[in-house]
Chains A and B, each alone.
Chain A
Amino acid sequence: MIVAGCDIGSLTAKAILLENDEIISSAVIRTKSRPAASAREVIQTALMRAGSKLEDIACLVGTGYGRNQIPAVDRVESEISCHAKGAHHLMPTVRMVIDIGGQDAKAMRIEEGGAVAQYRYNDKCASGTGRFLEIMAEALEIPLAEMGAIADQATEKLVITSQCVIFAETEVISLVNAGKQTADILNALHRAMAKRVAALARSIGVAQDVVMTGGVAKNKGIYTALGKALNLKIKSLNGNDPQLIGALGAALCAREHADNG
């Protein structure tokens, strides 16, 4: 039996197909302005890779900003539950999930059984989101994917304090104007962001093991900076793509749902 999870985020759309607990295929695409279209495309891509058809999907669960617009969705789940479920499935020892999405950052504390004990979103205007990094990448005219690598070459310690994404952008621009190195600016950005997210995690009590989910987790700069800020080792999801965890969680819900008929 094939079940599917689809996570329509603000920046990217993801889909995962499960066949009795095995991930048989997955897909990630950039979101279109119409979530239904994004959903259709990302699910089709995943199906194609698995060589199966929409009819084969016994149950489809949606999550993320666009969850209610996914065509043929059987039920929807909140991102919080899905990220928790997905992470706990891959790593039963996980007690805290930090998800940095496009629009917001979330920290969740997980109970042994995988239930969410407590969770918290970032404050209004707090600059700890994927969109924040995107805007900064644009301002510095570098590809998002290379941010982490570039930041590693930092030599000078700069400080960026503004919480407003747009004002932080002004700060970055003025640092550039002051002739500062891109690597140093990026490094400062990562540290600033990591500090805020760490504070978010602390606000509900940090518990190990800690994992990071969401696209931003792929940014090595943030990943290491956050580890430093929390001063612990953030576990890697043994080879699994952190960006897909939401979709995975949704797929797992789909399986449960299908099992209970």
Chain B
Amino acid sequence: MTVVAGCDVGSLTSKTVIMRSGRILGNAIIKSKPNPVESAQTVMQAALAACGINMADILCCIGTGYGRNNIPFVSDVKSEISCHGKGAQWLLPSARTVIDIGGQDCKTIRIDNAGQVVRFAANDKCASGTGRFLEVMSGVLDISVDELGNLSARATAPVTLASNCTVWAQADVIKFVNSGCPLADIGAGINTAMAKRVAILANSVKPESDIIMTGGVAKNKGVVSTLEKLLGHQIKKSRKADPQIAGAIGAALFALETINSR
């Protein structure tokens, strides 16, 4: 039995997936610690515990994410973009476009039927359009990011935000809150602003169906539904696993390939 692992040390969360013969054996997600080495070890231990095995059982582990070069126990590293492409294709074999909204940036990736990246775009702009944008905003409204996602549905007149800069958008949100504007309209405004920025990025790679969204924001109904409108494509979900771990899954799949090629 070949047991492989993928370890994705992101700026906000770290994930590990352990796979055996193409199936997920177990996984773990933790909030990243200031020190990536620590994050990697903790999340790996958690995943090992979850499947009741130990490090020795892992034949190969591939690392990815911002901290990928600080992970002690990996045999190789891959970029998040390749890993997300690979992982998304495993989650949804019909996927040809992946929209991944991470904590610090946002990527749209077009892949072929093998999960190989054909083309990608990532936002280098100001951080609006990233997961952090939603976190900061929901912080102002003091609700959870998930609640934020549900607001759009209840909105009657969504507000327009200065969506090009997180700090200014935040100032706007506070202003709207202070002017007694309904929470739902503000929330919808935030989700729409977010979706519009993601749409520009997505359209720049000429998205093809099926589209799958990975990363935490995929859980935000408001953003997803607006994004579907803007792209004119339905955004498919995968029930196979939490889309947040797509990067780690991809890394694990690369680990498997490494072994097979040995």
CB-CB under 8 A from B34, the residues of chain A are: 139-141, 173, 176
Checking B127, B142, B178 against A166 with a beta-carbon cut-off of 8 angstroms, the contacting residue is B127
CB-CB under 8 A from B70, the residues of chain A are: 177
Among B88-96, B161-169, B225-233, B238-246, which stretch is in contact with chain A? B161-169
Nearest chain A residue, comparing its CB with the CB of B167 = A165
Checking A33, A164, A169 against B177 with a beta-carbon cut-off of 8 angstroms, the contacting residue is A33
Q: Judge whether B180 and A124 touch: CB under 8 Å.
A: no
Report A1-44 CB contacts with B as 1/0, cut-off 8 Å.
00000001010000000000000000000001111100000000
State A131–B166 Cα separation when bound (angstroms).
Answer: 11
CB-CB under 8 A from A165, the residues of chain B are: 127, 166-167
Checking B11, B166, B174 against A173 with a beta-carbon cut-off of 8 angstroms, the contacting residue is B11
Interface residues on B, range: 20 to 34
State A106–B179 Cα separation when bound (angstroms).
Answer: 22
Query: Given A124-B165, A141-B34, is A167 in contact with B126 using a C-beta cutoff of 8 Å?
Result: yes
Listed residue (B104, B127, B141, B175) with the most chain A CB atoms within 10 angstroms of its CB? B127
Q: Which residues of B contact A (CB under 8 A)?
A: 11, 34-36, 66-67, 70, 104, 126-127, 130, 132-133, 136, 140-143, 165-168, 170-171, 174-175, 177-180
- Between A and B, 16 residue pairs with Cβ closer than 8 Å are A10-B170, A10-B174, A35-B178, A36-B180, A124-B168, A164-B166, A165-B127, A165-B166, A165-B167, A166-B127, A170-B11, A170-B104, A173-B104, A174-B66, A177-B35, A179-B35
Q: Which residues of A contact B (CB under 8 A)?
A: 8, 10, 32-36, 65-66, 68-69, 103-104, 124-125, 129, 131-132, 135, 139-141, 164-167, 169-170, 173-174, 176-177, 179
